[in-house]
Chains A and B, each alone.
Chain A
Amino acid sequence: MERARKARARRKWLVIAIPYAWLLLFFLAPFALVLKISLSQSALSQPPYAPVFDWSDDFRAIIEKLQTLSFESFAGLFGDSLYVESYISSVLVAAIATLLTLLIAYPFALGIARSSPELRSILLGLAIAPFWTSFLIRVYAWIAILKDEGLLNRFLMSVGIIDAPLGIFATNTAIVIGIVYSYLPFMLLPLYAAIEGQDPALLEAAADLGASPSRAFLRITLPLSARGIIAGSLLVFIPAVGEFVIPDLLGGSDTLMIGRTLWNDFFLNRDWPSASAAAIVLLILLVGPLLIYERVQLQDEKARA
């Protein structure tokens, strides 16, 4: 019996160890590489940074190389207005997009949660249906909609609402639209779960105690879905800050998003240390929101237990 219990404990550890080994291999190791590059110097070589550690290095060589590592690239980031502005602009665009996504997704989620059970699964399925096509293609489709001679402008002009194109394409507005569209399901699902799980008797009790439907919503439904709001907002905000594809396709040449600035540094300027430092700073920026998200998830699990 004792042996059986030990075997069970070993199996439990194995189950936990596999995903951690995965993370170690495919997250922590690359992260260490990026960190190392961020501390290196840019160089006209292959790879384009120095020093490069080699398996044949002896102890002294390693020490010498380590001594050449510095935080210069990080200092450079903060001295470079391009990076600072990219961070600010990324956070701003992501925040606006997150807020808009929330405002659009909340009534949507509320409507689905309040519809009949048969209808619910159909509506949820429709909301997730776009995922069946490639993300890239869907963002490309927005170019066709938003550009000056695109669907939106043609329609609005033919109806007579405007007489010149809106000029949305290649602006931050287009990026926000792209983010809201792409990330809507990530907001919708946690919101739906938070609203759907509420006991309908709570709203009846509120009405019974004299609360009008709008009061009941504000005092009961909304606060009880707070966790869904936080979880959904972070699920949209965190990836949106570092988003590359949407700003690249829908943004203009003057668009400053950190994902793009980083890409430019990597592939156009071949300044790997700066780009790596920028990636690390982005990660640090997002650790805060990530920790909040983790805490909310944990509280949710505790509440359910």
Chain B
Amino acid sequence: MTQSGPLVRLDRVTKRFGEVSAVEDVSLDIAAGEFFALLGPSGCGKTTLMRLIAGFEQPDEGRIFIAGEEVTDVPPHKRPVNMMFQSYALFPHMSVEKNIGFGLQQEAASRAEITERVAEMLRLVQLEGFGKRRPDQLSGGQKQRVALARALAKRPKLLLLDEPLAALDRKLREQTQFELKEVQRRLGTAFVVVTHDQQEASVMASRIAVMRLGKLEQIGTPAEIYARPASRFVAEFIGDINILDGDMKGGRETATAIRPERILLENDAGLSANGLPGIVDDLAFRGSDTLYRVRLESGTILRVVAANSGHRDPYRPGDRVRVQIPPDARILLSH
């Protein structure tokens, strides 16, 4: 591997299923040690892109490099990447130990080596004492850990995770997000996680690629993508947002987007005459903040989020308010 090059390089990769392009002309670099997320709604091609990296699909066009070597035509069992499957795909007829040791066995590691590594992996995922169990004797969270341990046992430079938290319940999901992050930091392995959950991607990944209809919409850090979405699609997909009146500029339709928490609400009785007058249509108390639906005089409805830190009484439906939008809160979307 060249020290400076990216760990994974996708060079103008296209994959079609019949007439449909699942992945279209995607170029992408993933660095060693990175926690990268492929994010998008179902059918956007994110899973296909991951399967192309793993080798389960062959691209119709373009080339794939891993650690500087072209692997476009290399079958999956010869690629230096491992994958954690959405269904976990644990071998039901093997114990937890045998599952975790399976990969090492394929590269003809010695028995002592396998035993030691399996114990190490069980410690890593906090499943000591579960080695002799069968997968059907494990809870969903435990299965997920075994799948992670199995995929990491061969010390891959790159781990692919297909919707790793989709099968877990909400509470466990949040905890596991941080655990995955912790494991990733400790091992320094590059993680590529496929998810449809933007919050999950933001919590875990240092960089996110947003995909739509087989194409890359935007790549950036979670903060970059949130603050400066490249398109209306990204703006709407990542977090909550207000999209205002389309405008024509240079022959293209543009729109202005504003994050709900950047909008300031003021009492209409206040002294300042700034801001747009409106009426609170409805509100939702959400604990740490409150979401207001404010109807402006133009009829536009704005979503406004106000933190519930102060002791000021929240507004009620029907209240007259003034809405202030700081200039730097306006995001101009060109498409």
Contacts and interface: CB of A to CB of B under 8 A. Distances in A.
A82 B92 CA distance: 48
B103 A220 contact: no
Contacts of B150: 205, 209
A267 B76 CA distance: 65
B83 A208 contact: yes
Contact of B82 (A209, A216, A219): A209
Contact of B106 (A199, A204, A211, A224): A211
A120 B76 CA distance: 26
B75 interface: yes
B319 to A, nearest CB: 54
B163 to A, nearest CB: 12
A54 B106 CA distance: 73
Contact of B77 (A201, A208, A219): A208
B102 A224 contact: no
Interface centre among B85, B89, B103, B150 (most CB of A within 10 A): B89
A295 interface: no
Contact of A204 (B85, B90, B102, B151): B85
A199 B87 contact: yes
Contacts of B93: 223-224
B106 A202 contact: no
A93 to B, nearest CB: 33
B104 to A, nearest CB: 9
Interface in A169-214: 199, 201-202, 204-213
A72 to B, nearest CB: 50
Interface residues of A, number: 19
A215 interface: yes
Given A204-B56, A208-B54, A209-B106, A199 B89 contact: yes
Contact of A205 (B75, B85, B107, B154): B85
Given A209-B154, A215-B106, 8 more contacts: A202-B91, A204-B83, A206-B91, A206-B102, A207-B56, A207-B77, A208-B76, A209-B106
Contacts of B107: 210
A216 B56 CA distance: 15
6 contacts: A202-B91, A202-B92, A208-B76, A209-B77, A215-B106, A219-B91
Given A209-B82, A209-B106, A204 B76 contact: yes
A211 B77 contact: yes
A164 B279 CA distance: 103
A208 B92 CA distance: 17
Task: Rank and list the top 9 A-B pairs by shortest CB-CB distance, nearest first.
Answer: A209-B103, A210-B106, A205-B89, A201-B89, A207-B76, A207-B77, A208-B83, A211-B106, A201-B85
Interface string A68-92: 0000000000000000000000000
Interface in B137-181: 150-151, 154
Interface string B68-96: 00000001111001110101011111000
Contacts of B77: 206-213, 216
Nearest to B102: A209
A206 B76 CA distance: 9
Contact of A210 (B54, B85, B154): B154
Given A201-B85, A208-B54, A220 B106 contact: no
A223 B91 CA distance: 10
Interface in B78-131: 78, 81-83, 85, 87, 89-93, 102-103, 106-107
A204 B102 CA distance: 13
Contacts of B81: 208
A232 B102 CA distance: 29
A210 B83 CA distance: 11
A13 B79 CA distance: 59
Contact of A220 (B82, B87, B91): B91
Interface centre among B55, B82, B102 (most CB of A within 10 A): B102
A203 to B, nearest CB: 9
Contact of B89 (A204, A213, A215, A224): A204
B115 to A, nearest CB: 17
B281 to A, nearest CB: 47
Contacts of A219: 91, 102
A201 B106 contact: no
A201 B93 CA distance: 14
Contacts of A223: 93
Nearest to A205: B89
A223 B81 CA distance: 26
A196 to B, nearest CB: 15
Nearest to A212: B77
Contacts of A215: 106
A213 B106 CA distance: 12
A199 B85 CA distance: 12
A291 to B, nearest CB: 23
A216 B106 CA distance: 10
A179 to B, nearest CB: 31
Interface centre among B56, B106, B150, B151 (most CB of A within 10 A): B106
Interface in B44-60: 54-56
A204 B85 CA distance: 9
B242 to A, nearest CB: 41
Interface string B279-297: 0000000000000000000
A201 B154 contact: no
Contact of A202 (B56, B89, B103): B89
A211 B78 CA distance: 9
Contact of B75 (A201, A206, A207, A224): A207
A201 B87 contact: yes
Contacts of A209: 77, 82, 102-103, 106, 150-151, 154
B118 to A, nearest CB: 13
B105 to A, nearest CB: 9
Interface in A213-245: 213, 215-216, 219-220, 223-224
